[in-house]
Amino acid sequence: MRTPFVAANWKMYKTVAETVAYLRDFGTLVSAVDDVEIVVAPPFVGVHAAAEAVRDTRVGIAGQDLHWEREGAFTGEISAGMLKEAGARYVIIGHSERRTKFGETDEHVNRKVKAAVGAGLTPIVCVGETLEEREREQTLSVLDRQLRLGLDGLSADTVAALAVAYEPVWAIGTGRNATSAQAQEAHAHIRDRLREWFGAEAGDSCRVLYGGSVKPANTRELVSQADVDGALVGGASLDAKAFAEIVAASRPGRI
């Protein structure tokens, strides 16, 4: 059975002080949860303080992006090793905001995934179609391309251990979530492809998260789908109580 996985993507919100205060409250709210993998991705500057704040808890810290090189003349960038040293255990890669606003390609995603794995970070690899692509019935072919190129060259063991986040671009930050049927269709397709390309065990072990306007009120319906293993949450994760409710609604016994 796959352990549910719920991750918060704070984007460019929260100072270091706000990060520490949030995690103190949030840690208390989820202290009894031992059956969900919980991850919080603050802005880079908060990673170290966040990792200190969650020390000795079950909450893990993620970076929101990374550069694939170990070091070099890449002003403004940060490497996998730097994130790891700062205390991150996970990293979000290929978020649609990186793809659409910063020109990130599937090839970039692939290099980043390999760098993350090489440094011992668990990647959360984001894929998803735009509204135009969905209306043209290209959703599944877009997912195929993003997954095939983004995960190219990875071993079955690596794929088994990472998380894929299906995030339809039209559902991110819009308040309009995919229906549970739309999510399940995409998730089942992703899992089928992972089984086909990396073997049944990898496909069955990889956690596939849904992202796009997840809130406490719609979590249970989404995560009750057979191939939805948890959520990547933006806006609603900025509030510790709301994010704790999303974690609670993702617990295996509650589904």
Which one, 141 or 174, has the nearer CB to ligand PEP? 174
> In this chain, which residue has its C-beta nearest to ligand PEP?
234
In the bound complex, what is the minimum distance in angstroms from residue 201's beta carbon to ligand PEP? 28
- Residue 150: which residues within 8 A CB-CB, separation 6 or more? 93, 94, 106, 109, 110, 113, 125, 127
Which one, 8 or 151, has the nearer CB to ligand PEP? 8
- Cβ neighbour number for residue 252 with a 10 Å cutoff: 12
- Cβ neighbour number for residue 107 with a 10 Å cutoff: 11
Catalytic position from the list 67, 95, 108, 189: 95
Residue 179: both structure tokens together: 């229906």
Which one, 195 or 215, has the nearer CB to ligand PEP? 215
Virtual torsion, Cα 12, 83, 48, 241, nearest 10 deg? 50
- Segments in 79-173 forming alpha helices (H): 80-86, 96-102, 106-118, 131-135, 139-150, 156-161
Q: Note the residues at the interface with ligand PEP (CB under 6 A).
A: 9, 167, 172-173, 211-214, 232-236
Catalytic position from the list 67, 129, 167, 187: 167
Give yes or no: 137 in active site: no
Which one, 42 or 211, has the nearer CB to ligand PEP? 211
In the bound complex, what is the minimum distance in angstroms from residue 211's beta carbon to ligand PEP? 4
Give yes or no: 67 in active site: no
Find where tokens 């079955």 sit. 156
In the bound complex, what is the minimum distance in angstroms from residue 43's beta carbon to ligand PEP? 13
In the bound complex, what is the minimum distance in angstroms from residue 50's beta carbon to ligand PEP? 17
Just list the catalytic residues.
Answer: 95, 167
